[in-house]
Amino acid sequence: MGSDIEKARKGREHSHFEPRANHSSAFSSGRMFIREDEVKEEGDESTINSHMLNQCTNTHLHLQTHLANAHAKPQSKFNLILDLRRRITKCIRIIRSWEETRGIDPIPLNERRGVGNQNNGNGDGNRPGHGNDGGSNNSSNGDDGMNIPFQMMLLWFSMTLATNNIIIGSLGTLVFQLGFAEAALCAVFGTILGGIGVGYMSIWGPKSGSRTLIVTRFFMGYYPSKICALLNILTNLGYSMLNCILGGQLLSKVSGGNVSVVIGIILVAVASWILATFGIRLFQFYERYSWLPQLIVLSIITGSSVSLFNFNKPLPRPQPPGTLNARCLTFFSLCLSASLAWAPIAADYYVYYPPSISTWKTFLMTLLGQTQAMIATLTLGIGLGTVISSNESWKLHYDSTPGSLLMAAYNSLGGVVGKFCAILNVVGVISNNAPGAYSMGLNFQMLGRRWDRVPRSVFAFGTTVAYTACALGGRGVLYEVFKNFLPLIGYWVVVWIVVVVEEDVLFRRPWSCRYRLRFRSGGDGHWHFQQDRNNVQHDNRDYDYDWSSWNQKDKLPVGVAATLAFLAGWVGAIVGMDQIYYAGPIARSIPGGCDLGIWFSAGFTAVTFPPLRALELMLIGR
């Protein structure tokens, strides 16, 4: 017994001098050593062995715990990385679910339901929550339960309830020197006339499932429609540039110059680019709600400034005879152009709606939504323009820029409230800018098959860079750009509208498409009326349109008649236009000048297209 105790004591002393030579780190920690006072003198050998066994067991458990903890830390880091990766993937999947990847291909019937069930343009109609039930749902309601005609009106109301229309209205009193009554009448009737054209073009979206300028191929032909696509790109680049400049000026004025106009332009452009890139689903979601803060802000501005409106603003005297009429007609044409500029993209936002939607409802809801918003904002701009000429405090804030005109109105509300309203108005600028930015990508894809292979998001980015650069370069001459750019839009758009209407009414209706003058090749060499039943559909709405042939050149009009009529329309625009860079001979003959370009272009086109188209049908047959 004593010898065992002595051996244990010696082993302990030896281990203190050489802890790492014969033992592991765990054993050298002292946990295995038996203190002498732990061993009773009267204990036997089995007690010592049992005690040593317990110590060994505890040490083994300690080692296992130590090793487990050592391996647990890197394992938890690995799991953290995996969890982070899963979260990022999920976020990307959610973001991609909002992105519209579809290009200019027509939307199939089984994917065309309400806006809320439009499958975000990806064609995945059987996804959970976006399933294809064969159209068993009520076609007059969207997936979110909102009535589709009401959605149409709300969309256009939101897009056109924008600050830039206030600037257009102010041109009537500040630039053309009209009184409130004269300018307001021009704005109301010019907007309604332009809205009729927009409403007419919008009906083709649900009918065909195709974008506006794809539908144009059925009226003008495959190649002439590309000219319209290119012109519409230039139109929307110009409009986007104007919106960015206006938004940049507002942000700069609100910040007291701390945010430069350049930074403001970039912020508006980036926000518009995001909406244009994600496409129709995010864009329509944004437009569905952005109108409300705009309406509140514009109501506040109207209520605070209407008492200052100079409804009896005197006209400049003396004036040559007819000057007032010439200015009224010019401003009327300007408002018409601003309203009609939406026509080339009107059907782009209806392609996911079912074709069963009433044509009259589509037309009326588009007309009401656009005209209500534009008339309200144009009239407000006219009134604000009259205040500048009669109120000294407003004159102090006005420095001949559109942003200063609006800030003069905001300052009358007080510092914080006025700045807050100005910031909300920038939201309206984005609402007005996003549709054109979205449609430009589609217009690029319409230029040819090689262009169609490029994703729309690439074009959205490229056009954003382009109009941002133009905005940065032209930010100091916004009023002049507005005055001279808008009429150019009206010239080509009205020519295009006339061709589309005449082709549809004169050559596609039952009384015209069933009998066409054909040349009987290999026959007696005479002209004959020959009944053409090949393409006549007994659908009262789609008379002679095979929407599936949208990309088949041999089934579309050749386009010679449309091209010649288009050129004739431009000849009319040139002889009647009155711009700072050029005045046509007819415009120069009017005292004080008058822009008649839009009217002459429409007249020249309306006269030349029907005979040219009839001749084209006789010679070619399509």
Report which listed range, 58-72, 318-332, 504-518, 554-568, is most confident.
554-568
Both tokens of 607, joined, read 């006269």
How many whole angstroms separate alpha carbon 86 and alpha carbon 256?
45
State the DSSP code for 389.
Answer: T
Residue 621 DSSP code? -
Domain 148-508+545-619 CATH assignment equals 1.10.4160.10: yes
Cα 164 to Cα 372: distance, rounded to the nearest angstrom: 15
pLDDT computed for residue 124 by the predictor: 44
Across 2-16, 137-151, 596-610, least confident range:
2-16
- Domain limits, the chain: 2-84, 148-508+545-619
Confidence of residue 571 (pLDDT cuts 50, 70, 90): very high
**555 burial type by CB count under 10 A (0-12 exposed, 13-18 middle, 19+ buried):** middle
Cβ-contact 201, 211 below 8 angstroms: no
- pLDDT tens-digit map of 53-75: 565 556 555 555 555 555 544 55
| DSSP secondary structure code for residue 356 in this structure | T
Residue 46: pLDDT band (50, 70, 90) is low
| Amino acid letter, 368 | L
- Look up tokens 């006072």; give the residue: 37
| Residue 70 CB partners (closer than 8 Å, separation 6+) | none
Q: Tell me which DSSP letter residue 516 carries.
A: E
332-391 residue pLDDT tens: 998 998 899 999 999 988 988 888 888 999 999 999 999 999 999 999 999 988 888 777
Q: Is 578 helix (H, G, I), strand (E, B) or coil?
A: strand
Find the range with the poorest average confidence among 310-324, 326-340, 513-527, 557-571.
513-527
Amino acid (one-letter) located at 405: L
Which range has the top average pLDDT, 6-10, 86-90, 395-399, 461-465? 461-465
> What whole-number distance in Å separates Cα of residue 210 and Cα of residue 547?
8
pTM exceeds 0.85 for this model = no
Contact between 581 and 595 (Cβ < 8 Å): no
Distances (CA, A) of 607 to 209, 507, 562, 564, 598: 31, 15, 12, 12, 15
3-state secondary structure 519-565: ECCCCCCCEEEEECCCCCCCCCCCCCCCHHHCCCHHHCCCCHHHHHH
Task: Supply the DSSP string of 39-72, one letter for each residue.
Answer: S-TT--HHHHHHHHHHHHHHHHHHHHHHHHHHHH
Cα separation, 7 vs 24, in Å, equals 20
pLDDT score of 512: 60
Number of other CB atoms surrounding residue 246 within 10 Å: 31
Q: How far apart are CA 342 and CA 130, in angstroms?
A: 30
Region 540-561: what's the mean pLDDT? 79
pLDDT (0 to 100) of residue 527 = 43
Contact 283, 462 (CB under 8 A): no
